Structure 1
Amino acid sequence: GLKLIDDTIEIGEEGDWTPRSELAKRDATRILGAHKYSEDEARKAAEELRQRMARPPPPPTLDGMGGMPAWVTIAQQLPTGREQKAERKKLFDNLMDINWNGFLSLAEVDKGLSVHFKLISGDPIATKYCKPAILRAFQAAKNCSGNTEGENEHYVTRGEFRLLLVFIQRYFELFAAFKRLDTGIDQRINYDEFKMAMSSLRGWGVVVRNPAKEFGKMDHDGGGQVLFDEFSEWALKRGLELVDDEPEEGEERLLRLPKR
């Protein structure tokens, strides 16, 4: 029979081991390198896996093109062009629309991006830090077609998918800027962090002459902390550009979104 060791590895009487998850399978293969080990060796491997899985993920790295976070670089490669319809269809059908119903939920988009980015970068948590940006892009894309009947109101349709990818590119870019300003790594920007970022903002095409006034425009509730949705709304209006490229067709729609 099989025994459970540390919720990670099962071993049999002959020394065969079976990882309990895909993550454990990948790491266990790296650690053990074979399929027959003693119970003591399996226990040791299980403990090492348990410790690895308990560690917090590393912070996002600036290892993409031009010092950009890798997830921004990958997002820039999403098939957003009108001529890339076949690539978009493949991404929609094969990675995102797991229910084959022609609609994408937020969970499906999140999961599909995670798989897509992992296939390109090899990083299983490439989009882990990007959930606020994914949420904003999803909310902006759904209902872009104007059809809010039935399922259309709550999901992104096939006809809205290209705009979803365009919005993901833009919000990933803005989220990278937000993360650079957020020196406290608490998913918020306070006034001191904003004031210290004047040089960076100038480099991104935004000149702030009155930091206190501009911060007040972002801080809608006056709480002294700016979240990503507040920052991104402000940054879109100010034309903040972290990536020096031409705007994608449809990107201008983000400027017409309803105010929070």
Structure 2
Amino acid sequence: MAQRLTKDECRKLFRQFDNGNGILSLAEIDRAIVFWHPEFGTNRQAMIRAFKAADTNGSGFVEFKEFHRFLDLLYYYNQLSNLFRQLDTNKDKRISFNEFKQGHELIGYSSTDENSLRQEFNRIDTNHGGYILFDEFCIYMAKKKLQ
């Protein structure tokens, strides 16, 4: 799924995932990805985030017209999740300031000044909990990509 699928390939994959009603629930996608694409199945955070973002009409399901977007987002969020795990050296599913300081270059932030690093960390930590959570990280990286 790393390269973009044709419309026919996408339709075939959608049919594999679908239980026959023409829409995909999160449970259907979860089961199908674990079965057909296990490389993404272990990354539930990325899958959930991609599912929510692809559901553009807010129905709680992914329709065929949203499915291609889901696949693109799944790939993107999987990459972000891998990067997040590299930064999260103690594996507690959040990034502390020290972890950010050690790995800030992985996200393209080159300053080594402690104050500058703290300001950037605080900008990412939008809930001010003292840690960067995966959702905060995704939002930050998406904004960075658009710059």
What is the TM-score normalised by the length of structure 2?
0.88
Deviations along 1:164-190, whole A, 9 cap, x unmatched?
A: 111111111111110100001111111
Q: How many residues were matched structurally?
A: 144
Unaligned runs of 5+ in 1: 1-74, 119-125, 240-251, 256-260
Q: Partner amino acid for 2:137? A: F
The answer to whether 1:107 aligns with 2:31 is no
* Aligned CA distance change for structure 1 residues 131 and 208 (closer, same or farther; 3 Å): farther
Residue in 2 that maps onto 1:258: none
Unaligned runs of 5+ in 2: none
CA contact under 8 A between 2:33 and 2:41: conserved in structure 1? Answer: no
2:86 to 155, 164, 180: 180
Residue in 1 that maps onto 2:51: 138
For residues 135 and 104 of structure 2, the distance between their equivalents in structure 1, rounded to whole angstroms, comes to 20
For residues 104 and 11 of structure 2, the distance between their equivalents in structure 1, rounded to whole angstroms, comes to 42
Residue in 1 that maps onto 2:104: 198
Q: Secondary structure at the match of 1:196?
A: helix
1:82-97 correspondence runs (5 A): 84-94=6-16, 96-97=17-18
Residue in 2 that maps onto 1:228: 134
Q: Which has the higher helix share?
A: 2
For residues 134 and 222 of structure 1, the distance between their equivalents in structure 2, rounded to whole angstroms, comes to 25
1:115-126 correspondence runs (5 A): 115-118=35-38, 126=39
CA contact under 8 A between 1:187 and 1:227: conserved in structure 2? Answer: yes
Residue in 2 that maps onto 1:28: none
Q: Which has the larger radius of gyration?
A: 1
For residues 31 and 42 of structure 2, the distance between their equivalents in structure 1, rounded to whole angstroms, comes to 13
Q: Partner amino acid for 1:97? A: D
Q: Secondary structure at the match of 2:128?
A: coil
Stretch moving more, 212-221 or 156-165: 212-221
CA contact under 8 A between 1:208 and 1:214: conserved in structure 2? Answer: no
1:23-102 correspondence runs (5 A): 75-77=1-3, 80-81=4-5, 84-94=6-16, 96-98=17-19, 100-102=20-22
Give 1:127 deviation, angstroms: 3.5
- Superposed CA RMSD in Å reads 1.9
The answer to whether 1:155 aligns with 2:61 is yes
Considering Cα pairs closer than 8 Å and 6+ residues apart, tell me whether 1 or 2 has the greater RCO. 2
Residue in 1 that maps onto 2:42: 129
For residues 125 and 43 of structure 2, the distance between their equivalents in structure 1, rounded to whole angstroms, comes to 21
* Aligned CA distance change for structure 1 residues 192 and 140 (closer, same or farther; 3 Å): same
The answer to whether 1:189 aligns with 2:95 is yes
For residues 165 and 232 of structure 1, the distance between their equivalents in structure 2, rounded to whole angstroms, comes to 16
Q: Partner amino acid for 2:129? A: G
For residues 226 and 93 of structure 1, the distance between their equivalents in structure 2, rounded to whole angstroms, comes to 37
* Aligned CA distance change for structure 1 residues 225 and 135 (closer, same or farther; 3 Å): same
CA contact under 8 A between 2:23 and 2:64: conserved in structure 1? Answer: yes
Deviations along 1:4-24, whole A, 9 cap, x unmatched?
A: xxxxxxxxxxxxxxxxxxxxx
